[in-house]
Structure 1
Amino acid sequence: MTDATDTSTAAPAPRISVVGTGYLGATHAAAMAELGFEVVGVDVDPAKVEALSAGKVPFYEPGLPELLVRGVESGRLRFTTDLAEAAAFADVHFVCVGTPQQPGSNGADLRYVEAAFEGLAQHLTKDALLVGKSTVPVGTAALMAERVRSIVPADGPRVELAWNPEFLREGKAVQDTLAPDRVVVGGASPWGEELLRRVYAKPLATGTPFIATDLPTAELVKVSANAFLATKISFINAISQVCDKAGADVTVLADALGHDVRIGRQFLNAGLGFGGGCLPKDIRALMHRAGELDANWLVSLMQDVDEINMWQRQRVVDMAVEACGGSVLNRRVGVLGAAFKPDTDDVRDSPALNVAAALHLRGAQVVVFDPEAGETGKRSFPALGFGTSTEEAVQGADVVLVLTEWPEFRTADPVALRALTTGATVIDARNCLPAQAWRDAGWTYRGLGVAPVQG
């Protein structure tokens, strides 16, 4: 197989633009450059463009800084605020802008998607394939295609639209882009499909499936995957409540379920539940769109999934209050974890910070530590206290809460930490600690769906 930059082939390698350089866009742009393409990233934020041009990633994602620096230093990757420049440069334009939740609604805010497609269409002077990667409500792609057709003159360049949903996992985004487990393309003509097969030639050559489909199916794949994962998480958390009341162990139960090939073990960890910038937003947007389409069974299911997930946060708050004798007023609470999951500094809709803030509002003196999300957490919740180490967070604590399953929390020395605390209860809201080791060190260990045992 030739390199993407090999000019000996009949057709030159397509040049790529990535519109929107947030989490998705910055990762996609750097990965495309790593695969050998010439890439320009576009953003309306000059500060973001300046940082990325200097090889600086404005968020934490393992492996991405090295990828970005290699791309910039090689000359294959650059960034600009000029959409016209990108339109003139690239053959394939990936739209990677955000689709946040609308204020006061579960629906997705599509203004950035609309602006990206309309802006590109206004500046195109040569044949181009516009490819949506943003997660959007089903039906959006068809609307964008209509808008593009209304802007590009009938006698103008060949401009087509396709949808290529992203499946990134925060903390593993580089791997997921360079070696995806599937490539889904919706609405592409044979010309557009051939272009995208060239873009993804390297992963396809290693066996990654290429799934060609229509626009609505492509739009639904990502949100359906997220909805299913969210359902699986909420299911095991609902079962963990039964385990609490029946004296069963949800972790052993999940292990047993996971041996069934129809079910699998992934996403069957009972705990504080899901958060972040994707799952909560996406299932609510799916719920909203399903309601518009009168697909009410899905609305009901997603409503229950969402409610169970939010209830888990209150469940942990209640456990902390109980551990402090019925009130956390003026009690010191050590919180380990701020990010919504490990290997990221993302605190959007973070269950950990939601619990910490709820305890603060009840009068607790809360000190939070997270290996990467301390600064982002502090910006979002400035009223909370933030420490610089696990030891500082638990110093003098009446109760300790493990709310994000970072490796350094899982491997922390329970004997050393016990010597620092006032109380001796640890609430393992991620069921990630070696429970017996903590019990042996003198802690009362509380998990979710795991019977409490006094150390």
Structure 2
Amino acid sequence: MRISVIGCGYLGAVHAASMAKLGHDVVGIDVDERKITDLQAGRAPFFEPGLPELLTEVQETGRLSFSTDMAAAEGAQVHFVCVGTPQRKGEYAADLTYVDAAFTELIPYLHEGDIAVGKSTVPVGTAARLAEAVAAGAPGAVLAWNPEFLREGHAVKDTLTPDRFVYGVPEGAAGEAATSALDEVYATPLSDDTPRLVVDYATAELVKTAANSFLATKISFINAMAEICAATGADVTALADAIGMDDRIGRKFLNAGVGFGGGCLPKDIRAFMARAGELGADQALTFLREVDDINMRRRSRVVELTRELVGGSLIGKRVTVLGAAFKPNSDDVRDSPALSVAAQLQLQGATVTVTDPEALDNAKLRFPELSYEPDLKKALYNAHALVLLTEWDQYKGMDPVETGSLVDEQNILDGRNVLDPASWRAAGWNYRGIGRP
């Protein structure tokens, strides 16, 4: 099939390359000339394992091209809209400026039988509104909603071999046409028995926000338990292991620490609360406000623990923050707990150095006032305390004896509970974890 992908950011670039890998003829379209230039040259404009290799592979086949001109969408049978929906400034609600602009520009190039597919995470009700715009501007074209379920660091795999497909389509012949077209797009993974759900627009829109809200709730729950463990001397890691053995609960996402961040979970749960308020159902989601509050409280708690670690005052202390990205295997620093903590530490008098294997360029744009050092050993040198906030493998694998020879004082706060306390304490370190005795 001939496919267009509008928006070549994190979601769109991965989707475009993956669709070409599945054998389709794909054009990616974005207004950012620098991004398009990078992609045309086979360079990923962000760090995502496997994406550079995939771009090189599919561009050599001639099935993938990129353009800054929406007219390049002409002739495509299926058009995926993959633009961002950031949080509005000063509000909880999602900013749909980019989604609305993408559809406004795309509609003149839609023809009878074409399928326009939204993949962006949007407030429930958005698809129905956009379906009316498509029907008015391009009679015979059909809107479908096909939410994405990508995990940063695993996006290529999650696109090529997803755990499920969800299609939000209208009733009747139009919905059948959209379903048939999407089945053809995803024929390869569907042939491997990937589950597929065909639902209405509203349900499809709610799937991603509901899933993210559940995951955020699970993370905040175990972080709330970490607060109780800290007050009682219990071990939150052992607690998570025990309750995670219950298959109704499961062990995944029960890892206490500094909390969640990134471009999805924080803004999605806030947008969900805002939309529920608009619908008069705000009481149904009041628990998400506490989920958000617990998450933000973890950052302040890490600052407090660091102060305790260095003797009660941060003034004049040299603190090395291990990690800038919100998670490992990513250079994404949006709403990063690590950078938030680093900034708070510096505001309270510490001399902070941030290190990260991939995210420092993006971090400098967000927090130019912080000091950054890409070389791990240089970042460790003469530190009074280390604060591990992004669980990159190189941080988890640090040797406590070797690391101890580089620092001034052997204080470490394991903000992700990924180190072995016994081995670090045996090497002379003052080790603190989150919710661990």
Name the TM tier (shorter chain): over 0.9
1:24-78 Cα offsets, whole Å, 9 max, x none, are 0000000000011000000011111111011011100000111111121210000
Structure 1 residue 322: deviation in Å? Answer: 1.4
Contact 1:161 1:187 in 2 (8 A): yes
1:181-223 Cα offsets, whole Å, 9 max, x none, are 0000001511110110111111111111010000000000000
1:49 aligns with 2:36: yes
1:390 aligns with 2:372: no
The answer for the alignment partner of 2:253 in structure 1 is: 267
Moved more, 123-132 or 33-42: 123-132
Unaligned stretches of 5+ residues in structure 1: 1-13
Contact 2:148 2:208 in 1 (8 A): yes
Contact 1:275 1:351 in 2 (8 A): yes
Moved more, 322-331 or 428-437: 322-331
1:16 aligns with 2:16: no
Aligned 1:182-261 pairs, distance under 5 A: 182-188=164-170, 189-261=175-247
Equivalent position SS for 1:234: helix
Structure 1 residue 115: deviation in Å? Answer: 1.1
Moved more, 321-330 or 92-101: 321-330
The answer for the alignment partner of 2:51 in structure 1 is: 64
The answer for the alignment partner of 1:176 in structure 2 is: 158
Structure 1 residue 390: deviation in Å? Answer: 2.2
Select which of 291, 303, 312 maps to 1:305: 291
Aligned 1:358-373 pairs, distance under 5 A: 358-373=344-359
1:149-168 Cα offsets, whole Å, 9 max, x none, are 2222x5xxx20000000000
Equivalent position SS for 2:326: coil
Mapped to 1, the partners of 2:305 and 2:381 lie a distance apart of 20
Contact 1:335 1:394 in 2 (8 A): no
Contact 1:273 1:309 in 2 (8 A): yes
Structure 1 residue 421: deviation in Å? Answer: 1.3
| Residue identity matched to 1:349 | D
Select which of 97, 109, 124 maps to 1:111: 97
Contact 1:335 1:369 in 2 (8 A): yes
TM-score under structure 1 length normalisation: 0.94
Contact 2:111 2:141 in 1 (8 A): no
1:95 aligns with 2:48: no
Select which of 63, 66, 83 maps to 2:70: 83
Structure 1 residue 180: deviation in Å? Answer: 0.4
Equivalent position SS for 1:203: helix
1:241-285 Cα offsets, whole Å, 9 max, x none, are 100111001001101111100000000000010000000010000
The answer for the alignment partner of 2:129 in structure 1 is: 143
The answer for the alignment partner of 1:32 in structure 2 is: 19
| Residue identity matched to 2:372 | F
Q: Percent identity?
A: 57
The answer for the alignment partner of 1:293 in structure 2 is: 279
Select which of 400, 414, 418 maps to 1:414: 400
Structure 1 residue 125: deviation in Å? Answer: 4.0
Contact 2:235 2:435 in 1 (8 A): yes
Equivalent position SS for 1:89: coil
Structure 1 residue 343: deviation in Å? Answer: 0.3
| Residue identity matched to 2:149 | F
Aligned residues: 433
Contact 1:118 1:151 in 2 (8 A): no
Mapped to 2, the partners of 1:36 and 1:169 lie a distance apart of 23
Contact 2:29 2:72 in 1 (8 A): no
Give the 4+ runs in structure 1 shifted more than 6 A.
Answer: none
TM-score under structure 2 length normalisation: 0.98
| Residue identity matched to 1:428 | D
| Residue identity matched to 2:339 | L
| Residue identity matched to 1:72 | Q
Unaligned stretches of 5+ residues in structure 2: none
Q: Once superposed, what is the RMSD of the aligned Cα atoms?
A: 1.0
1:99-130 Cα offsets, whole Å, 9 max, x none, are 01111111111111111112111222453100
